[in-house]
Amino acid sequence: MATIVLACGGGCQRKRAAAAPSGTAGAADQLTTIQVIPVEQKTLRRQTTQPATVHAYYEARIYAKAAGYLKTLNVDIGSRVQAGQPLAVLDIPETYKEQERQLAVIRRLKADEKRAAAEIEISKSNVRSAEALREEARADIQRATAQLAADEAEWHRVTDLVKSESVASRLLDEATKRRDAARAAKAVSEASLTSAEANVVVAQSKLVAAQADLETAQAATEVADKQREELEILIDYATLKAPFDGVITQRHVDPGDLVKNTQASGGNSDKPLFVVAQVDRVRIQVTLPERETPWADVGDSATIELQALPGKKLSGKVARVSSSLDESTRSMMVEIDLPNPELKILPGMFGEATLVLEEHKDRQVLPVSAVRHDQTGRSFVYVINADNEVQIVDVTTGLDDGDQIEIVGGLTGDERVAGATVDRLEPGQKVNIRT
C-alpha cells in the first residue's frame, strides 16, 4: 500500500477527498472560504483635493489721471491704508492757473447775467408804459367817437331847421365846423392808438430779446461752471487716494518724479504708481478638473492647507463658481473667501484645498470591492444566507467615494454580503465563512 500511495502522489489524495461523503472534513476543505461584510450606515462624501492659490480679495493698480511732478509721498510698501486716504500728491501748477482763469470767466458771465436781468426790468417797464399809452389812446377814441356822434346829430338837426328856414344859415356853418373838428379829433385818436399799439409790440419784442440775452448768459455761465467743475475734478485727481482699506504691496514712484497722465500717454502699459491690496479677507482660488465640475456649488465646505502654514487647517465655504471651463485646461475656477484679520495669509501662498462636493448622510454603504458588475452594467452582490448558501441580489448604487459605495436599493441592511473574492460564486453554492 505504501508503494501505491507514493505512486499516486497528491492526485490520489485529491480524488479520495472528492469522493468523500458530504459533511465530512474532506468535503469542507473543498468549499470556497470567504469573508462576509455587514451593510453599514454611514455618511458618504464626494470630495476632491486640488491645488489652491491665495489672492487678495481686492487689488487695485493706481495710475495717475493728471500729469505733474510728485510733490508729496505719504505711504510706502507695507503701509496700512484706509479708503480715501491720500497716498501721494502731484504738483500741477498749470491746472491751478487754468482754474483761476475759469473763475474769472465765470465772474464776467455773472456780470452779463446781471446786465441782462436789468435790461429785462427796463423792458418790462417800457411795456407797461406802452400799454398804458395804448389804453389812454383807446379812451381818447371812445371820447372822440362819442363827440363825433353828438356833433353829427346836431349837424343833421340844424340842417333840417335851415331847410325849413326856422333858423339862420350861419348856425349850419357852425354845426358843420364842429362835426368836422370831431371827425379830425377821432382820426388823431385812431392814429395815436395805432402808434401806441406799435410801441407795445416794440417794447414786448425788446423784453423777449432781453429775456433771451439772460438765458444765453445763464447758459454760458453754466457751461463755464461745468468746465470749472472738470478742472476741480482734475485737481482732485492730483491727490492719489486709496480705493479701499488695504495694504500697499507695490510702489513705483519717488518724490520729484514726473508722473504721466495714463490716458494721454496711451494706456497703462507702464508700471502702476501703487498697488493696493485688501488682505484682511482673501480669496482662495481652486481649479477643478472637468470630471468634478458638475457637483461644485456655492456653499460647499472646504478645508485649505497652505505650505507656508504647516499643520494648520483653514475651513471655509465655496463663495463663487465660475460656471465655465477654461478651454485650454478644461478646468473650472471656484473661489473660497477666508477672513484674515492677523494678515498671516499672504497673496501668492500655495497649498491644497479639499472640497466636499456632495454629502449623503446615514446611507447604506458597502466596500467598493463587494459590489460586482457584469458586461451589461448590472450591479449585484453575493448575499450569504443562514445556511451559508450564496444568493445573488441585484442592487442599485449611488455615490462612490472610491473606497465605499452607496446602496440605494436592493438590500434591507441586515444581509451578510460576501467580500472581495477571486472566485465566481453561483446561486445556492455552499461556502465557508472566514472568522
Q: What pLDDT score was predicted for residue 264?
A: 52
Q: What pLDDT score was predicted for residue 269?
A: 54
Among 148-162, 255-269, 288-302, whose mean pLDDT is lowest?
255-269
Mean pLDDT, the chain, rounded, equals 85
Q: What pLDDT score was predicted for residue 192?
A: 83
Domain match, 86 and 164 both: no
Domain match, 170 and 250 both: no
Domain match, 122 and 217 both: yes
What is the per-residue burial (b if ≥16 Cβ within 10 Å, else e) of 184-200?
ebbeebbebbeebbebb
Sign of CA dihedral 244, 249, 252, 257: positive
Domain match, 366 and 356 both: no
What is the per-residue burial (b if ≥16 Cβ within 10 Å, else e) of 98-128?
bbeebeebbeebeebbeebeebbeebbebbe
Mean pLDDT of 322-334: 94
Mean pLDDT of 168-185: 80
Domain end among 336, 360, 384: 360
Q: Quickly tell me which residue has 491751478 as its cell.
A: 96
Runs of H (alpha helix) within 93-244: 93-163, 169-237
Residue 21 predicted with pLDDT over 70: no
SS3 393: strand
Mean pLDDT of 205-224: 90
State which residues form the domain around 105: 95-236
Domain match, 222 and 111 both: yes
CATH number where 149 lies: 1.10.287.620
Residue 149 predicted with pLDDT over 60: yes
Domain match, 225 and 108 both: yes
Residue 214 predicted with pLDDT over 70: yes
Q: What pLDDT score was predicted for residue 5?
A: 30
pTM over 0.75: no
Q: Which residue has the higher pLDDT, 9 or 49?
A: 49
Domain match, 155 and 213 both: yes
Residue 17 predicted with pLDDT over 80: no
Q: Quickly tell me which residue has 474769472 as its cell.
A: 104
**pLDDT tier at 29, thresholds 50, 70, 90:** low
Domain match, 74 and 144 both: no
Find the Cα–Cα–Cα–Cα dihedral 148, 154, 160, 166, rounded to 10°: -150
**pLDDT tier at 55, thresholds 50, 70, 90:** very high
- Domain count within the chain: 4
Q: What pLDDT score was predicted for residue 304?
A: 96
